[in-house]
Structure 1
Amino acid sequence: MIIKIVLVCLVIYMIANLFLAMRVMMKDDPDGEPMSKYIGRRVLTSVIIVTLILIALATGLISPNPAPY
């Protein structure tokens, strides 16, 4: 159950970084924070999410849906 909570929190963090990048893009301030900072965080978070899912599947913490027959 804790792995699912962690994954949901990471997805929320990824979406928040997406909106922060959008805010920087809309502001268009050359002296402000670079948009690549937030996009990089989003990509790193995606890699962490995929890695956690694969580890959780391999260890049996979560189980995939059965194949429909």
Structure 2
Amino acid sequence: MVYKIFIAIFLAFMIYNLYRAMVVMNKNSAEQPPMSKYIGRRVICSAIIVLILLIGITTGLITPNPRPY
């Protein structure tokens, strides 16, 4: 259950960073941080999610769906 909570938190953080990048992209203000900062955070979050999923599957804490056939 803890794995699923971590994944949900990282997904929410990923969506937040995507939203912040959209806001920065739409505003042409010089005092805002660059959009690549938020996009980079989003990429790191997705890499962490993949690692959490792989570790969870290999240790047996997360069981994938069975094959449909």
TM class by smaller structure: over 0.9
| Structure 2 counterparts to residues 48-59 of structure 1, below 5 A | 48-59=48-59
Deviating beyond 6 angstroms after TM superposition, the runs of 4 or more aligned structure 1 residues are none
User: Which residue number in structure 1 is paired with residue 43 of structure 2?
Assistant: 43
The one-letter code sitting in structure 2 at the alignment partner of 1:33 is: P
* d(CA) in 1 for partners of 2:22, 2:29: 12
**C-alpha deviation, 1:29, in angstroms:** 1.5
The one-letter code sitting in structure 2 at the alignment partner of 1:49 is: I
User: Which residue number in structure 2 is paired with residue 11 of structure 1?
Assistant: 11
Equivalent residues, number: 69
Percent identity for Structure 1 against Structure 2: 54
* d(CA) in 2 for partners of 1:59, 1:43: 24
User: Which residue number in structure 2 is paired with residue 34 of structure 1?
Assistant: 34
User: Which residue number in structure 1 is paired with residue 62 of structure 2?
Assistant: 62
CA RMSD of superposed structures (Å): 0.7
| Structure 2 gap ranges (5+) | none
**C-alpha deviation, 1:40, in angstroms:** 0.3
**C-alpha deviation, 1:32, in angstroms:** 1.9
Cα deviation 1:19-65 (Å, max 9, x = unaligned)? 00000000121332100000000000000000000000000010000
The one-letter code sitting in structure 2 at the alignment partner of 1:59 is: T
| Structure 1 gap ranges (5+) | none
